[in-house]
Each structure stands twice: as structure tokens, then as C-alpha cells.
Amino acid sequence: MDAEAIARHLGAADIDIEVVAETGSTNADLLARAAGLRRPLLRVALHQSAGRGRAGRSWLSAPGAALTFSLAWHFAGPLRELAGLPLAVGVAIADALGALDVPVQLKWPNDVLRDGAKLAGVLIETQAAPGGGVWAVIGIGLNLLMPDDIEQRIGRSVAAAPWLAQMDRNALMAHLLAALAASLGQFAQGGFAPFCARWNRLHAYQGVPVAILDNGATLHEGVAAGVDDGARLLLDTAAGRIAIVAGDVSLRAREA
């Protein structure tokens, strides 16, 4: 992959682009530099040796088998206005992949699924900007191929997209970046509300009995009923409908 080639495919855009052969974590790299950034920056790593997932989990991938990158994006408002950003990013990824004939669904709060297995994950970390507002560092890992040894280390079935692996990686990265930039601009103007209905149409667990877990402990059980404009998961329980705020929780389907 090559930064100049990605920029050519992208066309006119006020985004800096970097490609490195290897790094520990593209998110960590950009967080360390956020205070000195003046405009959005995309950092792509051909391999991450210490990739991070949500809630401190590791993101495992083999060199060349995944697209791993982070995008630093400045938002003028306070941190509280970023509620729902991971879900909006999920919608952007789903739209971009759907345009490439790779239909996916979404799992609250930040996973992209293909045929019920995880294809991509989103990790968003933030840092206050020196001049006001917030820098959001949006990390994305997209499985293109899934070597057997990596799947064994992960310990569960994981999705891949061999069709995308055949694409020019620079063109694929530019396609995803264009979708993300457009969606982030929309989110900056209207928050999560414009994405809500789109997310619900892609909801993998709509109408499915689920359990909400935290560190293995069941917090709630009910039927998943989509999300609201505040990006909270709506759960129909025996005691009525409740709204789950995004946090360190996992969602698992349970038997009806």
C-alpha cells in the first residue's frame, strides 16, 4: 500500500495519509500525536503487533490478511456530543462494504458482522484538542482473509471477505476513507439521529432474545429492539423496555 496511491484514488480531500509497514497500534500512534495535529490524519499499518480492540482486548491479525488503520478526526463540540459515534462509523463501513457487494449487519455497539461472525471492529478513543473540541481516533480492523492459526488463537469463528482481498488495497482504503469522511461530517452536524434508522435496518439481533453481559455476568435479558436516537440499545424485558448505555458490555443471543 502507498499513501500517494490512496490519495489519488480518494481525490480532493483535506486529509493527510500515512502508510507504515508495521507498528504497535495505529490508535496509540495517533493519540500520541493528536495534540499537534492540524487536520485529519489517516494512518494505515500493513501489520499491527499490538492491535487493540474494545475493553482492552487484543486485535489479532496476520500481515496482509487484514486492513488495519486509524483516522484522527477533530470535532468542535464537547465529548458528550460524540455519543453514538461508534455506531455511526459502523453504518459508514456497512454502506461502503455493501457498495462492494459485501452485505453485512451490525452488532451493538461496534461490530460489523458477516453471516453472523465478526468481520470488522471499531475502537474509538478520544483526547481533548488544545484549541478546543475533541480529537477522536477511530481505529478499524477489517478481516480480508482469516488464516487458520489466527482463528484458532481468537478462539471463535471469525468472518473474512476474500472478494475484498482481491481488490487493489489502495483503492479499497480510499473507498472506505471516503465513506468515513462523509459520515463523520454528517455526524458533526447532526449527531447520531440521522444514522439511527439506517443502523436499525442493519441490526443483526433485531427481535432476537439476548443477554447483556459485563465481564461474564448477566446484567439484563430481553428481546433486542434496536437503538434510539441516543445510540442506546433498547431491550424489551419482562419488566418493560429499558435502554442500555454503551459501555463494557457484550451482547449474546440466547435461546427464546
pLDDT in tens, 69-96: 999 999 999 999 999 999 999 999 999 9
- How sure is the predictor about 163, in pLDDT bands with cuts at 50, 70 and 90? confident
Residue 117 shares a structural domain with residue 219: no
Residue 104 shares a structural domain with residue 62: yes
The reported pLDDT for the residue numbered 55 is: 46
CATH number of 237's domain: 2.30.30.100
Residue 192 neighbours by CB distance under 10 Å: 23
CATH number of 189's domain: 3.30.930.10
Residue 165 shares a structural domain with residue 226: no
Residue 170 shares a structural domain with residue 247: no
What's the whole-number mean pLDDT along residues 120-145?
94
The reported pLDDT for the residue numbered 150 is: 55
Residue 184 shares a structural domain with residue 217: no
Residue 132 shares a structural domain with residue 64: yes
Q: Is the pLDDT of residue 223 over 70?
A: yes
Residue 159 shares a structural domain with residue 244: no
The reported pLDDT for the residue numbered 157 is: 65
Residue 193 shares a structural domain with residue 93: yes
How many structural domains is the chain composed of? 2
- Find the domain containing 71 and state its range: 3-201
The reported pLDDT for the residue numbered 139 is: 96
Question: Is residue 164 exposed (0-12), middle (13-18) or buried (19+ Cβ within 10 Å)?
Answer: buried
Query: For a pLDDT cut of 70, what percent of the chain falls above it?
Result: 86
Nearest C-alpha neighbor of 256 from the set 222, 217, 212: 222
Residue 177 shares a structural domain with residue 222: no
